[in-house]
Structures are given as C-alpha cells and as structure tokens.
Structure 1
Amino acid sequence: MMNELTHLQIEQDADGIMIVRFDDPERSTNTLGSTTFNDLEAVLDQLEGRDGAINGVIFASGKPGNFIAGVDLFEISKLDRGDLEPFLERGQKAFERIARLPITTVAAINGTCLGGGCELALACDWRVASDHGRISIGLPEISLGILPAWGGTTRLTLQHGLMRSLPGLLTGRVMPPRRAMKAGLIDEVVRPEALLTAARRLLRKSPPRRQPSRLDRIVMTLPPLRRLVCRSAERQAHEKTFGNYPAAGELIRAAETACRVGHQAGLDAERAAVTRLVDTEACRNLMRLFFLRQDAKRSSWATLDTKPADVETAAVIGGGVMGAGIVHALARAGLAVRLFDVNEAALSAALNRVRKQLDQDVRSKKMSPLESRQAMHRICPATINGLESTASGLRHVDLVIEAVSENIELKRRIFGLLDAGPGAATPGAVLASNTSSFRIGDLATAATHRGRVVGMHFFNPVAKMPLVEIVRGPESDDASLATALQLAQKLGKTAITVGDGPGFLVNRVLIPYLAEALVMATEGPVERIATIDRTMKQWGMPMGPFELIDQIGLDVSMYVLRSLKEAVGSHIHVPEGVSVLADAIEQGATGRKGGRGFYVYPTRKRRKPRPNEQLINALIRTADHQSSATVDDDTVDRLMMPMINEAARSLVEGIVDHSDTIDLATVLGLGLAPFRGGLAHYADTIGLDQVVARMTELSRRHDDPVGRFQPIGALRRAADAHLPMQSLVTGGDAATTADQTSRSKTITANH
C-alpha cells in the first residue's frame, strides 16, 4: 500500500526517522482532501504497526513556501450534507491517530500553514517553522463562516485555555512564524535551511506538556467563571458583527463544550456546528467569495492572448501616502525600486513613510530587521527633474507607476516624459497610473506609444487593502495588461480587470453612497449622523458613511466627490450645502487625520469620538427642509439602492463584464458586508424587481430633482423579466444570461 501513495512522499533514514512529505502532484499548494487522507491513513497504519524500526516522524512539505493551505474547499463544496459529517470525522480521527502515536512527531512548517494544516500541526508533539515573514500560520475558518472542525477548536482550547484561545479563533487571525510562536501555535522558529535539522533535534527531546495557565485552568473548571468568559466573548463578538456571522456563537459553544465535557465531546460539537453552519446564507456567501478570489487569479487572464513580462525593477513617480505605500509593497516583494519626487525634502519625507511601514513590519514579525534594511537598500531616490535627463535610470526598469497628486496636466506631462523624454523608460516598459479619478485614455494622449499605458489603481492603505484595479485604456495592449496583472499578484493582491471610465468600478459605486449620506446629513438632526453610521454597521459595512468620510479625509472625499460627479453624470446629487465643508477643511477639519471631521476625535484612545455639532449644524442650516427623526426606516435603501444602480450602469457600459467582478471588488475594495456576498449578489438576493420598487418609492418620498433614485432602463427591463444583474451585460437575453450566470454557481468545476 505504501508504494501506491500519490500525495505523500515517504523517506526513512538510518536513524529510524521517517519524513512524511505532503506533495499534491496536481496543484501548486497542498490541501487536505479524500485522496490525501487515503495516503495519510496508509502511513498511519504502518506507524501504528511498527516493529521498533521507526523512532520518530517529521511531517513536512515537498512544495516551497507551502506546508498545507487547509482543507480542500472545492471538494467540500461538492459534498452533500450527509457526506459532510463523515468527511469531518475522518479528518478528526486521522489527527487523533497522529496525536496518540507512541513515537515523537514534529511538524516542520516551511510555508503557509492554515486551517486543516494548522490543525494537523497542533496534533503533533512539536511544531517548528521557517523564519520568514511571508509565511502565514493560523486557523482562519471563521472568515469562511465555519470553525476549525478537525480538532483545532477543541485542541487549542484545552491546550491554551478559553481566555487565550477564543480571541484568535473568533478573529481567524493568521500570523507570521514569530508571532505564532508567541501565541503558542509554534514551539521554535529557525532559519529555512535549518528546518529539518531543528526537527530532528526536537525528536530527541521529550514532548512538552501543554496545558493552560493556572488562571485559565480555574476558569475552565469552575462553571460560573467559564460561563462568564463565554458570555463575555459572545457579547464582544456581537458588538463587532451584530450577529451577522453565526459561526462566532457556534465556535464559543463548541469550545465551552470541550471544557465542560471533554475532548471527544468537543470534537462532536465541532462536527455538528459545521454541519449546521454550511446551510447558512452567510457561509454560502463567504465560501463563494473565496472561490471568486481563487478564480480571479485565472479569469483575469482569460481575454489576454499573451504572456506577461517579468518585473524585477520598477519606478514610482510620487512619494505621497499612496506612492510610498506602493514603494513599500514593491520593495517588500524583492523588487529594486526607483523613487521620484519633486525635491530632496519630498524624497526624505517619502523615504520616512516607507521606513515607518517597514518598521511596523518588523514589530509585527512579518520581516526581520535585516530584511527591513535590505528592502530599504533596494530603493533608489531621485528628484523628478531627473526624468528630463538621460541619467534617470528608467532605461533599466520594467514598469513605472505614476502616483502624483490628482492633477491631469501634471500627470500628462509625466507620461510624456516617461514615454519620449530624455530619460524615458525603455520601450518595453509598462507605464501605469494610480489615478483614482481620471480616465487612462485621457492620460495616454500625452504618450506616443499608448499601448503600454494602463491603470494600476491601488487602495489606501496599500499594505492592508487586498484589491488592485487593472484598468484597460482604449489603446492598452494585452502584453502591458498581463504584466500589470502579474505584478499585482506578485505583491499578494487580488487583481481585477476593469474598463476605462470615471472612478473605474469601486470609486464609481462608492460616490452615490457618500453623496446620499451628505444629503441625509443636511436633513438633521445632529444625532442622526451616529445613528446612520450604526445602522450601516449593523447591515454589515465595516464603518458607517460618515466614519468612512473621516477616515478617507474630508478634503480628499470632497475632491473625489466633485471631480467624479461631473464625470459620472448629472444623476449624482451632491447637496449645495457641502460648500460649508470647504470652510471647515480650511480650519483644519480634515477628518480623523486632523482630529475632527463629522466626529471629534479625542486624544485619549479609550474615549469614543463624538459628533461634531458645529460642522453638522452648519450643514443642516443650508438645507431647505430638515428632518426631526433620528431613525429612518429607509436608511439602508437610501444608501444602497443608488450603489446598485451605479453598478448596473457599470455593467451596461462595459466597465466590467461580469457581476461577480462587482461582488469581489465591493467586498475587497469597500469592505462591503462579506456575509452578503457582494453588491450585485445582494441585489440578486432581494430581487431586481424589489430594487426597482424600492428606488421608485424612494424617489416618491424624497426630493429627487436629478433622478438619483431613478432605476436605469436596463435595470427596469431585467426586473420585469425576473433576470439577475448579469443580464445587464447581455442586454437581457434570458438564454445567454442563464449560461453566463452559471459561472458563479459552477466555479469549482475549473479547479
């Protein structure tokens, strides 16, 4: 049987050490599915029936940078409910067999170790990991609407205690190795080349006795204290999620069961919980988004008939907040970066911004101090005047990203220099813009070779936001788009391809949301601001619209609103009263960064922000009419329906070619309620007939001189025919629509 293994490689040395390497021959990453378990069970049969020839086992990986990425979610998605619980039980039994082996076991973690991979490691006596900040270790199942159910919830709780384990389990936090060691998931962190040597050394040591702290043991054994900790965790989870993620409550109950009844009862509770959770809408939507992210890595290339060029050296023009964030991402990824800014002072400030981000990476254990210094040394600064010199250094770069302020004449001048100036980039280099408001086609007019001009729209903060919009200009060629896509993926981003238009996709659908929030602010009263924010967070947004404006910055928000309002169309209604915001901005009310915006932010961290009554009252006084209500029954519809309408326009105009792209972009770019599945999916869930009916009612109830609540014609026709959002791409042809929308439902067939 051992000779028939397909997903595991076995080797045994003269010292009786067996190395079990996970190595899926059909994929670039290891996952745990039925075939892998067939192999693992065969190996365990041999280990349990050993004759003394095997003295220890090291579980390792045959794939660079990847240990085990988790369960095979594509296999799980195809299981009937009746097959799911036996599948979960099979994994639990396999890991229990590892934990009970009479010989010492070590997990030698060389790369990504998530979900089921982490649960396998927890079943081993020792866990050692390579010291590399890009390695992720943890149990992120709750982000998929489920919980660790191969013993991870039970084993971590019984080893660490409720108080220590629940925070990590409930957030699904993943960590680099050194932080994972501090959290107790890993015993040692060593240089990558010393990983197996360290694993062999650990095999010679007695397994550690893992148990919670004395206080945790008291909490776990005394029912009143145990209930107090669990109820407190439930309350905190509800405050953050408003009950929209049922997995949190199920996880807490499973952990409590393990403490109250024991290990086996905890395993039983894990299986039962996941079996219930997979039938929830939240889980289905979160799983679908996972598959969409995986599919985006392949579908982005579907329309490109070329291979990308490798990018080893890049240049960034502009070192402001966004530019410095992009430089940081490029340098962290190992690229040599040429950074240009207006003068020495600006360059110094830009380098300081990058250095602060690298310092944060060191503090969070994502990279070592040496790696941080090496990243800084890969950055070569130069003044922007150097673009007019043959000594610019751009002859040696593969891609340039323009990230200067939103001034179209300045951007055009830069693209002219990049394309044909004395210090122009090499003819094969891609020229990209990070603009958020100008059309790529308008910028490309300054270039002679317009095919190599594309958009690479990053989101702020670059280090945290996972999305990049790759913008196809009117003349952008496939080779340049492919290179930009590959670079975005190399930086660890999810890249989507969008058409050229004002605001592209994400900012375009955001504008009516922010504009309507400002209309509501002018209607008063002051207390309504906080109520609207809370209502939208209850609906599932990460923050309310006024919190978002403050986070972006009032100055930036107002600029984007005004510039995109003119470009997007007259249906965007920005109230005239927002002119008072210009005065407030001049007086320093720029949002959170300035200490006050729609809220006043206290200097002491523990104090909560309070509404800025002076600013809000100034807005209210500009309105023709005011509202006395602090709570509205149509708050969600007033903010979300115009977004859906704008998303519909984006489909009709060809900004995107599939409603799935809207879902992925609005979740990753706006943080829009992941459990709802994205903006287009939300529209389809409530039904386009309901969307049209609600918009019509909003137009009747509220002053609507510009038609901001008027559904576009294509949306009305789709609603009348009971078709989904995707039909707007095809003009409403039912047969074609049914074929295209099956992409979302059968997406796993490609994997």
Structure 2
Amino acid sequence: MNLSLTHLHGLATLTLDRQGSSANLLDRATLEELRATLDTLSKDHSVTGLLVRSAKPTIFIAGANLDKLTNASGSELAELIDLGHQVFNQLAELAIPTVAAIHGACVGGGLELALACDWRVASDSAKTRIGLPETQLGILPAWGGSTRLPRLVGLPTALPLVLSGKLLKATSAQRKGLVDAVAPLQRLEPHAITFLQKGKRPPHHHAALHHPLSVAIIRRKAHADLLEKTRGHYPAPLSALEVMCRAVSGPIAASFAREKAALLRLAALPETTSLMRLFHLTERARKHSLAHAEPHPIDRVAVIGAGVMGSGIAYWLSTRGIEVILQDVSDSALAQGYQRLTKNYETSRRKHILTTTEAARGLDRIHLSSGKIPLDRCQLIIEAATENLDIKKTLFADLASRSHLHTLLATNTSALPLRDLAPSVTQPSRLVGLHFFNPVHRMQLVEVVRTPDTSDETLATAVSFVRRIGKLPVVVRDSPGFLVNRILLPYLVAAAEVFEKGGNPKVIDDAMLQYGMPMGPLRLLDEVGLDVALHVARTLAAAFPDRMQIPAVVEKLVASGHLGRKSGEGFYRYGKGHPEPSETALRLRTGTEAAPLALATRFAFLMADEAKRCLREGVAESADDIDLAMVLGTGFPPFRGGPLYATSGTPTPPFHHEHSH
C-alpha cells in the first residue's frame, strides 16, 4: 500500500507513503490505488473535507516514476496519461473541499495532483520546492498541469513556470498564486485544515488576460523569446506554449486531449531520449555511493586563496551551512574576495533565492584571515591559489605539516597534475582534486580527481562532501587537464586555428551557437580570459604535443595585453552594445581561408575523439560520466546528450576539401 485514508470528526486525511522508497512517486499502481480510495471517499457522506499529506520527511510527491515512463511503449504511455487525467479529475470533482498540505518537493505530477485540490498550503521549509520541470526532460505536464495552472494563476504567470521548468520556494509560489498560504512546518496541517472551511474553490476568471487578442499577443511574444533562447532545438517548451495558450478557453477535456497528444509526440523524439538519459545520469551522480569506504562528515572548511574561485567556493559552502575560513596572504585580495561574497549574497537576497536572514547567517559563517590560520578543526582544506606549481608545492607542504593527518587536502587546480603536488604532502593518501567550475554558484559539476595514492576513504569523503553541498561529482583519474578541460581544449585550439587561417569569428561562433552550445568557442576564450586559457593550454600542450599546440594568435594577443572581456578586447572588442570582432585580432590572421563547411560537426568530433582517448586511458570511468561532465561543465547541448552520445553512429566528417563561402 502506498496510500492510507483515516477519518476524524468528518475530516478525511489521505496520506501518501510509498513503501520501500524515500520518495513518493506516481506510477500506474499508485494511481489505481488513489482511484479506488477516491471511489470509496466519494460514497462516504459523513466526510466533509479532505486533507492530502505526505508521510515522507522531505518530499510531498517527486513526480511521475520516470523509470517506468522512459520504458513505456506508446500505448502504455497513452493509457498512463488517461489514468492520470481520470484520477486527478476524480479528486477535482469531489463534492467536498480538498486541501494539499505540501512539505518538501512537490514537482511534476505531484504539483498536478495538488492543482486538482481546491486549496494548497505549503511549509516555509527550505526543503519545500514547487514546480513543473517536465520541459527540462523534453516533455510537458500532461496530467492536467498544462491546463489547470494557467486557469488558476493566469497565462502570463503560468507560462514562465512551465517553459523554464524552474522550481519555486514556498513564498515565491504563494506570490505567484500556486499556493494559497505558507505556514511553519509544525503548523502546516492545522493551517491547511482551516481552508476546508472555505468550501469548494470558486472558479477563477481571467477575462482580460485570456481574451483571444490578449492570448495571441502573449503567445507571439513567448514564441519569439523561446526561439531566441533555444534556437528551436528544444521542442517541448514550444509544444507546452501551444497547449497552454489553448487551455485557457474551451472544454477542459479538449485541453487534456491536447496535453496527451503533445506528450505522445514529444516522447518519441530523439531530443527527449537524450534529455531523459541525462536526467538518469544526473540522478546516478547524485546518489551512487562508493561502497568500498565510509565517508567522514565535513562541517568546517578552510579555503586558501580569495580570488574569483576561492571566494566563489567560500560563498557556495557558506550557503550550504558549512563554516568557512577564507585565507589569503594579500589583504587587498582578501578585501576584493569579501566584496564578491557580499555582492553574491545581496544578489541572492534581491532575487529571493535567500531570505535576508539566510543571507546574514551565511555571511556570518565566513571568517577572513590574511595570516596563518588554525587548521586543527578543519576537516577539509581547499587550495584555490594562483596556478603556479612551485607556489602550490610550498603551500601544500605547509598545509600538510600544520593539519591533522585525517584532514583532506584538496586542490582546485584546473590543469596541473596532482602527482606533481603529492611529494609535498605527508600522507598523500589524503590528497584529492576538487575542481569547481566558474561561476561556482551556477555550475553543478565538480571533478573529483583521484591520484594513485588517494585512499578510498578520502575519495568517498570527497564525493560525499560534493553531494552534500548540492553539486554533482564525477570521479576522474589524475591527468593533465583532468577530463573536461582536456576534451574542451582541442575544440578551442581548432577554433583559434580556423580563425588564424582567415576564418570569420562570427561564422565560427555562430556555427556552434546553431549547434546548441551556449557560447561560441572564440567568445568562450574571451570570457575565460586568454591568459588563463593559454596557461591551461601550455600545460596540456606539454603533455599532448601532437594535438594541443597553441595557435600563435593566442600567444600574440596575450603578449599585447588583449586578454578578452576583462581587458576590453580579445577576439572581440567589448564596450557598449554587442561585442564586435577585434581589429587587432583580425590583423593577426595569417591566411585568407574561409571557415570549413560542417564546422560544428567537425568540432564535435574533435571533442569526441579526445573523450575516447580519456576513456581508453581510464581518465573517466564510463562514457556516461564523460557525457554528463561535458554537458554540466561546458554547456554541451543537453538535447544532443554529450559528445560521445551525439557522435555515436555518425560517420566521421572529412576535415578538408569543402569550404563555405
């Protein structure tokens, strides 16, 4: 049994508690059980109201069972959609008032069930997250969510929630009308019950917003915004837009039929297959345990270096409840780091990501020092100093000598091999790489780098820590550039070579934008900083001289002080308005060749070729790990599934002869 129904003084309480699972999920068995329960309830005239609640400590309902959904045939999926519509309609059409008491994750089908209730009250817990993330999986809400949500809150409010798939905190959900009230957890159910006294919810009318002319204007603007943002690569938001714009008028059954037709069409697309696969890979990275060792808890961390990465790491850790000592020998660097921290906290508060109290508490968890710091209470030390091997060796020798032998020593280096640092560390079994990506608060991936000396216990603790702070770990073997930068560099080198030979920078970058990358390779080099990219490239070129030699144009731009966006000019000139190709860079080209045809495919195969080398050498444990890391770490188009998945079964393109004009 996944459900239980109790009665007290006319109040019926429906408790969701999926057996043998930490999460409530909706599948055929649970829906059929819910249908039978609602049948019984509808015949009991002694009941005057229904409270829907969860027995799980951090989850209301986490949505549909995607394992079952992914493996369902077309006819099975159609039957499941129909069943969900029937059961949620039963709930919506009960003669008695209904209220959902929401604590924890209420997403996807979970929110669709809650929308079928008359009233919704959510806990103010940070664990409560509410939303419809289906479009991120290549599908759309099809158990009534694409219909009921716009009818409840209005089309202008509903569209961004579904098209983006973002989850809301309870207070944001209340502001947008998804929930009717927010209450402390200990008062959640008593407060929810008071809404039953209001009776059945009267229908919402958004006459002006949902006038055909208004809907046409809203649809046209949203469609244009979607095409600009996705370049048409993601069909799900476009389908959801059409269904939702038609959902605000006409019979509700007709809108449900359109939800079903859209989902069946989307489920058969390759983009959806890729996105579903990535979802499962992400869940595995989030949960898969290293059974050969027990991790140690970490609640106090020292971060050495207050630069962009060090302050970014300190900020993120402090938001996750970790006490942080941020140390830098430079007072000015420390001051700048603290300025970045306070700016991040202010932005998070302004965007309602954190409350004022949460931001203040987070900032209080960070302790600054420009001198030597006591390390005895730190379970983890993360080095984020300048990318200079000699400096890092000296630093690690000092840290190792002053820290407890069980304290983990981690480096955030992006390219330097850990084996060069190991001799500086007493007990090198505690040395591990924790390579965060910039900006830390946005990038989910952390490469956990293992050396031959890293103990299983150290690795398990590092992986557990990364998960605890809400990031996704991918374990990689120590190697120059590790995984992501090593695969990315041949692509960036090739793009610079095409430019150097005469290629138009906009043609080069536009090719990859059309392919689905968030940014073209030359713009990416400018954003990273050409000096930073050159440093990483030199490290990798020394290890792999046959394919990672840096084009002279990059060397020349760095030598002349043109470092990219931070200096105002690199491959592009930055000022007011859109960046334009830099005349300085254009003059450094040595040829007049146009960019080759099928440039994006060629670049993708360069990444895939390097990925295959990494796989053969054991740098990564699996092709799945590589694809996930490249999507999370570089923005490789999720709908393509990663470089190995995208190029599997595709003939390798010729890298010469054809050119565009």
Unpaired runs of at least 5, structure 1: 1-5, 387-391, 703-751
Does 2:152 match 1:163? no
Question: 1:210 offset after TM fit, Å?
Answer: 5.5
From 291, 301, 308, the equivalent of 1:314 is 301
From 563, 587, 608, the equivalent of 1:618 is 587
Does 2:42 match 1:48? yes
Does 2:426 match 1:453? no
Which stretch shows the higher mean deviation, 97-106 or 507-516?
A: 97-106
Which stretch shows the higher mean deviation, 489-498 or 172-181?
A: 172-181
Distance 1:332 1:48, change over 3 A: same
Question: 1:593 offset after TM fit, Å?
Answer: 4.1
CA deviation string 1:16-44 (max 9, x = no partner): 33332222222222211123213322321
| 2-structure distance, mates of 1:446, 1:9 | 60
- What is the DSSP-based 3-state SS (H/G/I as helix, E as strand, rest coil) of the residue aligned with 1:316? strand
| 1-structure distance, mates of 2:205, 2:505 | 45
From 27, 30, 34, the equivalent of 1:33 is 27
Does 2:94 match 1:125? no
Distance 1:149 1:594, change over 3 A: farther
From 627, 643, 646, the equivalent of 1:682 is 646
- 2:21 partner letter: R
Question: 1:308 offset after TM fit, Å?
Answer: 0.6
From 172, 193, 209, the equivalent of 2:186 is 193
Distance 1:571 1:632, change over 3 A: closer
Question: 1:197 offset after TM fit, Å?
Answer: 2.7
Does 2:379 match 1:398? yes
From 551, 560, 578, the equivalent of 2:536 is 560
Which residue is equivalent to 1:581?
Answer: 557
- What is the DSSP-based 3-state SS (H/G/I as helix, E as strand, rest coil) of the residue aligned with 1:502? coil
From 159, 165, 186, the equivalent of 1:172 is 165
Which residue is equivalent to 2:459?
Answer: 481
Which residue is equivalent to 2:634?
Answer: 670
CA deviation string 1:49-104 (max 9, x = no partner): 1223x232222221222111111001112211111111011111111122222222
From 9, 13, 36, the equivalent of 2:8 is 13
CA contact (8 A) 1:131 1:190 kept: yes
| 2-structure distance, mates of 1:13, 1:601 | 68
Which residue is equivalent to 1:643?
Answer: 607
Which residue is equivalent to 2:63?
Answer: 70
Count of residue pairs brought into register by the alignment? 659
Which residue is equivalent to 1:440?
Answer: 418
Does 2:591 match 1:597? no
For 1:104-115, what aligned pairs fall within 5 Å after superposition? 104-115=97-108
- What is the DSSP-based 3-state SS (H/G/I as helix, E as strand, rest coil) of the residue aligned with 1:698? coil
Which residue is equivalent to 1:100?
Answer: 93
Question: 1:142 offset after TM fit, Å?
Answer: 0.7
- What is the DSSP-based 3-state SS (H/G/I as helix, E as strand, rest coil) of the residue aligned with 1:148? coil
- 1:331 partner letter: S
Which residue is equivalent to 2:146?
Answer: 153
CA deviation string 1:419-445 (max 9, x = no partner): 12xxx2222111111110111121121
Question: 1:8 offset after TM fit, Å?
Answer: 2.1
- 1:489 partner letter: R
CA contact (8 A) 1:108 1:127 kept: yes
Distance 1:531 1:209, change over 3 A: farther
| 2-structure distance, mates of 1:501, 1:453 | 14
Which residue is equivalent to 1:494?
Answer: 472
Does 2:264 match 1:275? yes
Question: 1:200 offset after TM fit, Å?
Answer: 2.0
Using the aligned pairs only, state the percent identity. Answer: 37
CA contact (8 A) 1:547 1:598 kept: yes
| 2-structure distance, mates of 1:592, 1:96 | 54
- What is the DSSP-based 3-state SS (H/G/I as helix, E as strand, rest coil) of the residue aligned with 1:663? helix
| 1-structure distance, mates of 2:356, 2:585 | 46
- What is the DSSP-based 3-state SS (H/G/I as helix, E as strand, rest coil) of the residue aligned with 1:204? helix
CA contact (8 A) 1:325 1:461 kept: yes
For 1:514-525, what aligned pairs fall within 5 Å after superposition? 514-524=492-502
- 2:369 partner letter: A
| 2-structure distance, mates of 1:523, 1:701 | 15
Question: 1:699 offset after TM fit, Å?
Answer: 5.5
- What is the DSSP-based 3-state SS (H/G/I as helix, E as strand, rest coil) of the residue aligned with 2:385? coil
CA deviation string 1:449-506 (max 9, x = no partner): 0001011111111111111111111200000000000010111111111100011100
CA contact (8 A) 1:133 1:365 kept: no
Which residue is equivalent to 2:655?
Answer: 698
CA deviation string 1:616-672 (max 9, x = no partner): 32332xx1x212x4x642311332222111111101111012111111111111111
- 2:403 partner letter: A
TM-score (norm 2): 0.95
| 1-structure distance, mates of 2:292, 2:555 | 49
CA contact (8 A) 1:132 1:366 kept: no
| 2-structure distance, mates of 1:550, 1:162 | 39
- 1:142 partner letter: T
CA deviation string 1:392-418 (max 9, x = no partner): 331112111111111111211221122
| 2-structure distance, mates of 1:183, 1:105 | 20
Which residue is equivalent to 1:413?
Answer: 394
Which residue is equivalent to 1:293?
Answer: 282
Which residue is equivalent to 1:511?
Answer: 489
Distance 1:169 1:196, change over 3 A: same
- 2:375 partner letter: L
| 2-structure distance, mates of 1:453, 1:132 | 37
- 1:51 partner letter: H
| 1-structure distance, mates of 2:605, 2:549 | 14
Distance 1:348 1:57, change over 3 A: farther
- What is the DSSP-based 3-state SS (H/G/I as helix, E as strand, rest coil) of the residue aligned with 1:416? helix
Question: 1:331 offset after TM fit, Å?
Answer: 1.4
Which residue is equivalent to 2:327?
Answer: 340
Distance 1:600 1:265, change over 3 A: farther
- 1:279 partner letter: A
CA deviation string 1:709-750 (max 9, x = no partner): xxxxxxxxxxxxxxxxxxxxxxxxxxxxxxxxxxxxxxxxxx
| 2-structure distance, mates of 1:232, 1:122 | 26
Distance 1:447 1:267, change over 3 A: same
Which residue is equivalent to 1:373?
Answer: 360
| 2-structure distance, mates of 1:642, 1:51 | 69
CA deviation string 1:100-148 (max 9, x = no partner): 2222222222111111111112222222222234532211101111000
| 2-structure distance, mates of 1:317, 1:414 | 9
Which residue is equivalent to 1:745?
Answer: none
Does 2:494 match 1:541? no
Distance 1:212 1:521, change over 3 A: farther
- What is the DSSP-based 3-state SS (H/G/I as helix, E as strand, rest coil) of the residue aligned with 2:421? helix
Which residue is equivalent to 1:742?
Answer: none
CA deviation string 1:255-290 (max 9, x = no partner): 233235331111001111111111110011111111
Distance 1:159 1:298, change over 3 A: closer
Unpaired runs of at least 5, structure 2: none
Distance 1:597 1:175, change over 3 A: farther
| 1-structure distance, mates of 2:575, 2:248 | 41
Which stretch shows the higher mean deviation, 92-101 or 148-157?
A: 92-101
Question: 1:207 offset after TM fit, Å?
Answer: 5.1
Distance 1:699 1:531, change over 3 A: closer
Distance 1:640 1:580, change over 3 A: same
- What is the DSSP-based 3-state SS (H/G/I as helix, E as strand, rest coil) of the residue aligned with 1:346? helix
- 1:552 partner letter: V
Distance 1:105 1:550, change over 3 A: farther
| 1-structure distance, mates of 2:530, 2:181 | 47
Question: 1:594 offset after TM fit, Å?
Answer: 4.4
| 2-structure distance, mates of 1:551, 1:130 | 41
| 2-structure distance, mates of 1:685, 1:235 | 34
CA contact (8 A) 2:135 2:236 kept: yes
| 2-structure distance, mates of 1:579, 1:347 | 30
CA deviation string 1:373-398 (max 9, x = no partner): 11222222222x41xxxxx3311121
| 1-structure distance, mates of 2:45, 2:428 | 71
| 2-structure distance, mates of 1:9, 1:418 | 56
